[in-house]
Structure 1
């Protein structure tokens, strides 16, 4: 899957879409903490639009490149954690925890089982 152009396009688009979605879901906790929740929600929806403009083609390209639905989902989850950890540590100022490593190892196990028959 990843050796094809479509596979790499899928991963790249999912990576970019996750950056937008992470900011849409959690960025308001820092940047808009003093604003009413509905303002944060409207701004988050605006950011999430860009996430969907990247995520939908990523999944279409990936499915066309031979990813199964389960493989697309697990790929998405691995990318989510890869984006979330730096966001939490560098943008939000959260401490880096060993639990991030354990979660990553669990996801690597999921990747193994979903992709082993491919």
Structure 2
């Protein structure tokens, strides 16, 4: 009899993967989370934000002098889940909530675009 694969869940308060001992979320956990939240990226980011909050607190309590830097934790928990869009030139990170485009001639809120912008600094 073959055992079903073990889920890649965190061992708390260490925040290591229970199955592969990599920092959680490990690559397998990330793929499973992307599959689970395939239709709701915002819910995935809310979930991961809560996990980030818990991990920051628990890892700091374990070792207040040598804990991970905030940027490292952000990249580990949320950075990978943000949608990255390539533009001409350097890579731009953007959070995309909806695939629907605004009507042409309007901004994302549906209001007319300003031709001049906020303050002319050119």
TM-score range, shorter chain: 0.3 to 0.5
Task: Please report the TM-score for the alignment, with normalisation by the length of structure 2.
Answer: 0.32
Task: Please report the TM-score for the alignment, with normalisation by the length of structure 1.
Answer: 0.33
More helix as a share of residues: 1
More strand as a share of residues: 2
